[in-house]
Structure 1
Amino acid sequence: MKHLILSASLLALTVGAAAAQDVVRMGTEGAYPPYNFINDNGEIDGFERDVGDELCARAGFTCEWVTNDWDSIIPNLTSGNYDTIIAGMSITEEREVIVDFTQPYFPPAESLFVGLSEDFTLEGSVVAAQTNTIQAGYIAASGATLIEFATPDETVAAVRNGEADAVFADGDYLIPIAAEDADLMIVGEPVQLGGGVGMALRDGDERRAAFDAAITSMKEDGTLNALILEWFGPEAATF
């Protein structure tokens, strides 16, 4: 009888561990539309919500979505607060030292400047960017004056209130904002940065292979391109 009880206990532990492995906590910012945002119902929404849910379904995982501020999104991944980052994060050599990336699920995109005057030139200007982004790194190395903010909304507000001459961010984020505000306009020249957007996992996480395979299948059957066009419009870059 003791052997039966022990066996049953071990089976329960094994099943429980397997079930825990099947749950993947997906970390995102929830503040960078159309990649990710919080909708009117208070739920995580956007391109990456749709992509992430589809990837989990194809890989056999159950997604649990959580939000985290951008400036601590990598430290909270490495400390185990969630299992992935799927938050418009560009693949860079600097980040690959800390985390493992899947292949890109969004191609390299243009970063743009948005300001109040078409006379904008980068040299001698004050430019706002979100902290810990490839755009902030680019401005810091450009010789222009960089001011960093924790959220993308604050970078745009800095231009509106005259604190910055322009904001520098993903074009997909800035274009709708400029289109809806008569005072804002795209200025300067577009810049191509990063190696595309990928999902980040902790170093050595074996689930990366399953997500890579799922991304490949979404590329091959056209599902990924369809979602890109749905969320970013007919002019968006696709695979």
Structure 2
Amino acid sequence: MKKLLIATALATIAGAASAQDIVRLGTEGAYPPYNFINDAGEVAGFEREFGDELCKRASLTCEWVTNEWDSIIPNLQSGNYDVIIAGMSITDEREEVIDFSAGYLPPASSSYLALSAETDLMSGPVAAQTGTIQASFIAENGMQLVEYATPEETVAAVKNGEAVAVLADKDYLVPMANESGGELVLLAREESIGGGVGLGFRDSDDALREKFDAAIKSMKCDGTLDTMITKAEYFGPESKTWGDAGKEGC
């Protein structure tokens, strides 16, 4: 009952978050290295470290909430949490219903994972997680789309023959291929989709979004964000970073 009352109060004052409020960060917890649940049952990954640093710089008290991907935007709008931080690409379609922060990850490549490097993507269904930019890309480019609620299910679909390949962020699929013992391979073909990754906010929460934008800019300006991105346990030294472009306006 206490938690319900707190959630109701926070939803009522959306957009007026201050240092003494608890800002709830909503993530999926199932998409490493962006976010996942560790052995201690806690949210971990790049976005956990990044989000904690943002809250520190913005002088905000934050807590983490997990939510299934297919309802992550509706549950932001209904007040179950205040910010989406879940590897969400900035797209025109999503910007019709929520606001985005400045990007905190540059646009990244999407890759196909299959059982053979010779896989014909037109020979059968291509899997993607529901509601992702990859699912839209498959549907818009003449391939047969099959959607699953979780990223794990998309990979399982390839293994059990329900799909000929899965399209997802390359950063997610590379470890899957490396850990499969040769069972799964990345195709040579890659796609460039989306406009980078940002935090999601309710349209009414301009003040809160501005606080996070200032913190993101601070991390870009002092190089902390690029250093975090290139950590070996996250995206690695060869990953795309902001570089000098991230320091514009500093």
C-alpha separation in 2, matches of 1:149 and 1:141: 17
Shift of 1:123: 2.6
Q: In structure 2, what is the equivalent of residue 215 of structure 1? A: 216
Percent identity over paired residues: 63
Query: Is the counterpart of residue 226 in structure 1 residue 222 in structure 2?
Result: no
- Specify the code of the residue in structure 1 equivalent to 2:230: L
Unaligned runs of 5+ in 1: 1-16
C-alpha separation in 2, matches of 1:187 and 1:112: 7
Unaligned runs of 5+ in 2: 1-15, 243-250
Q: In structure 2, what is the equivalent of residue 116 of structure 1? A: 115
Q: How does 1:130-209 map to 2 (within 5 A)?
A: 130-181=129-180, 182-205=182-205, 206-209=207-210
Q: In structure 2, what is the equivalent of residue 85 of structure 1? A: 84
User: CA distance change for structure 1 residues 124 and 42 in 2, over 3 Å: closer, same or farther?
Assistant: same
User: CA distance change for structure 1 residues 232 and 145 in 2, over 3 Å: closer, same or farther?
Assistant: same
Q: In structure 2, what is the equivalent of residue 237 of structure 1? A: 240
C-alpha separation in 1, matches of 2:143 and 2:20: 47
Q: How does 1:2-81 map to 2 (within 5 A)?
A: 22-81=21-80
C-alpha separation in 2, matches of 1:225 and 1:51: 11
Shift of 1:118: 1.2
Q: Secondary structure at the match of 1:147?
A: strand
Identify, as 1 or 2, the structure richer in helix. Answer: 1
C-alpha separation in 1, matches of 2:238 and 2:188: 20
Shift of 1:124: 3.6
C-alpha separation in 1, matches of 2:123 and 2:202: 39
- TM-score w.r.t. the length of structure 2 is 0.87
Q: In structure 1, what is the equivalent of residue 124 of structure 2? A: 125
Indicate conservation of the 8 Å contact 1:111/1:168, yes or no: yes
Answer with 1 or 2: which has the greater Rg: 1
Shift of 1:142: 1.3
C-alpha separation in 1, matches of 2:121 and 2:100: 31
Shift of 1:21: 5.9
C-alpha separation in 2, matches of 1:188 and 1:233: 20
C-alpha separation in 2, matches of 1:22 and 1:122: 49
Q: In structure 1, what is the equivalent of residue 248 of structure 2? A: none
Shift of 1:23: 1.5
Q: Secondary structure at the match of 1:27?
A: strand
Structure 1 runs, 4 residues or longer, greater than 2 Å off: 17-22, 121-125
Q: Secondary structure at the match of 2:197?
A: coil
